[in-house]
Chain A
Amino acid sequence: DGGITQSPKYLFRKEGQNVTLSCEQNLNHDAMYWYRQDPGQGLRLIYYSQIVNDFQKGDIAEGYSVSREKKESFPLTVTSAQKNPTAFYLCASRAGGEDKNTEAFFGQGTRLTVV
């Protein structure tokens, strides 16, 4: 089945620790995105990548880092510099390239809780 997979579904982290959220897609999409959702809030863009080995900061990139070494993978690291990391994190992918007007497909999300 083609799709986008986020793991783990639930993640607990101690304060001061870095943690990496996984996002894998087998849709052969060029573009990938990371969003954060807080209770009662919309989806805020953290980082996005249009192509392998390239990525751009979104609206709330501080305290986060990403890599895009492979087309199918876009891991997000939440660093200890992120002041309020507890949130629901969503990864998405989109065809991109010449297929510019397409929808983005989302994973099921990772709930990160700092304890």
Chain B
Amino acid sequence: DQQVKQNSPSLSVQEGRISILNCDYTNSMFDYFLWYKKYPAEGPTFLISISSIKDKNEDGRFTVFLNKSAKHLSLHIVPSQPGDSAVYFCAASAHAGGTSYGKLTFGQGTILTVHP
């Protein structure tokens, strides 16, 4: 049961353009969402997060949008740079009690390639 899904295994964009990475979730108990960036053989590094009480959070070139009714979130990177090339993971956690309390669940990841 994949509760967090990133349906696009890869994305290729031109430098300077917008990169849009998508993520869907099924567990309605999730109330906090995060995006991570990962290079091979390294641990993921945190990029940006959003609470379920918001629908948008912005940090520099990175913006995360949350659509609770659709159980969908997206990460926008504008403008994209070659150094952004990496694997991007979305993650979700629940704090409303129940068996999922504190669990941090990741998607499968999307490989982003930004071409110069």
Contacts and interface: CB of A to CB of B under 8 A. Distances in A.
Contacts, number: 62
B31 to A, nearest CB: 8
Contact of A109 (B42, B46, B103, B109): B42
A66 interface: no
A48 B106 CA distance: 13
A96 interface: yes
A88 B89 CA distance: 16
Interface residues of B, number: 23
B43 A107 contact: yes
Interface in A36-62: 41-45, 48, 50, 56, 58-59
A59 B105 CA distance: 9
A97 B73 CA distance: 25
A88 B46 contact: no
Contact of B104 (A41, A42, A48, A88): A48
Given A41-B108, A42-B107, A103 B46 contact: yes
Contacts of A31: 102
**Which one of A6, A35, A42, A92 has the highest number of Cβ atoms from chain B below 10 Å of its Cβ?**
A42
Given A106-B44, A107-B43, A35 B106 contact: yes
Given A50-B101, A100-B95, A103-B34, A109 B106 contact: no
B41 A43 contact: no
B74 interface: no
Interface of B: 6, 32, 34, 41-46, 49, 51, 89, 91, 95, 101-109
Interface of A: 6, 31, 33, 35, 41-45, 48, 50, 56, 58-59, 88, 90, 92, 94, 96, 100-101, 103-109, 111
